[in-house]
Structure 1
């Protein structure tokens, strides 16, 4: 049974894609414990398995083998519908490409996932979260009317508004200039601190990794190092 102090536990986690004749091992036996409230950076070169690991840990991809418990839910025992239900309200995801719905306003992009989860106060919570990320004056704007940095702020608001136990961020500054990227990281770390969520950031930026409490490094589908780092920076 998973300790209540742990946000997730993985044992011998594997992911194999491709055909039976030409299987491709993406994850090759991941053992990992992440404590509740921990801020973790995941480093590694392109093709090392970082994004695939995040997809499995967040329930977007099913593992091929091993065991995985996330926010108290046994992911390895769940089907697709069960994984979707387990993610709802427990998992927040921030991606490099924002993934906002272009036909919806900022407020609607934040509120809609909560409405689908049955929240009756989704609109009010969405507005409050947009105000918290500095976009109280942009709630009625559509994604095309927002800068890249503003769109990522909306994505962060969407991820944090349901108060998930875990937030996964995959290269959240990848489409932004350096200055805007630093602002987004400050904001993401600040919102995590205020909500108490566990945060896993996939990044190639070692300076960002040093602002996290713990740094995992991947290569060839396995974790090759796991070190504690002294958190630094304005929001860390």
Structure 2
């Protein structure tokens, strides 16, 4: 179900994200493709939210829009107090800087930089004067203090993802997005990464929105959103995380 609360006249200080009738249409005018079809969503500061749904349901697209990596076609969107609907590309980049952390399946580490440099460089660009010592401290916190001078090709997949998490969290952002952060990892390493991500988020008090196909992981979250065919079809608390069969049922219902 979608949130039908009346849009506020001003950003609600209790909300990290507030979206109304959010749409995303791609393709040409002759052949438009509706990716997001009227999303209404409020997420409170400090919430841990799971986003579930079958492939092609719009999960990654919604995260891209909410994080400012993709511009919505229509609707209103306020994120961390900024009106994302009215900002240009430079404005969106500035709004993300130091305020929003993003962890993706593809680690996106710069191969010519060490682990420490990969973590420190975004903070340096954002104007953090203590970028280098903060990067070192964050890498130590994720168990990579002995690997700070290693390059990505010298790190395992799990270690690279730890670097990506350190990079996302080091600026102490108020909002963290994680798109299937364990998708390229084995089960054991994936479990370690999830524990690490949750622990580091808890220490900072940030809001976390995580895309996952795993109902067990979703059940650890405060809230579970399920998407199908570009809309939110259910919104439950973590203990009510839907099973895989329920996800398939929701998707079938949305397609009818």
| Same-fold call, TM cutoff 0.5 | yes
Q: Please, what TM-score do these two structures have when normalized by structure 2?
A: 0.89
Deviation per residue, 1:35-54 (Å, 9 max, x gap): 00000000000000000000
Deviation per residue, 1:183-214 (Å, 9 max, x gap): 00000000000001000000111111011110
Aligned match of 1:35 in 22, 40, 44?
44
Give the aligned CA root-mean-square deviation in angstroms: 0.8
Q: Please, what TM-score do these two structures have when normalized by structure 1?
A: 0.97
Aligned match of 2:70 in 54, 61, 71?
61
Residue number in structure 2 paired with 1:175: 184
Aligned match of 1:194 in 200, 203, 212?
203
Instruction: Note the residue ranges of structure 1 that are not aligned, 5 or more in a row.
Output: 232-236
Aligned partners of 1:206, 1:228: CA distance in 2, in Å? Answer: 12
Q: Which runs of 4+ in 1 moved over 4 A?
A: none
The count of corresponding residues between Structure 1 and Structure 2 is 231
Q: Which has the larger radius of gyration?
A: 2
Aligned partners of 2:83, 2:99: CA distance in 1, in Å? Answer: 13
Shift of residue 230, structure 1, vs aligned partner:
3.7
Aligned partners of 2:226, 2:144: CA distance in 1, in Å? Answer: 34
Shift of residue 229, structure 1, vs aligned partner:
1.5
Aligned partners of 1:108, 1:162: CA distance in 2, in Å? Answer: 14
Shift of residue 172, structure 1, vs aligned partner:
0.2
Deviation per residue, 1:30-75 (Å, 9 max, x gap): 0000000000000000000000000000000000000000000000
Residue number in structure 2 paired with 1:234: none
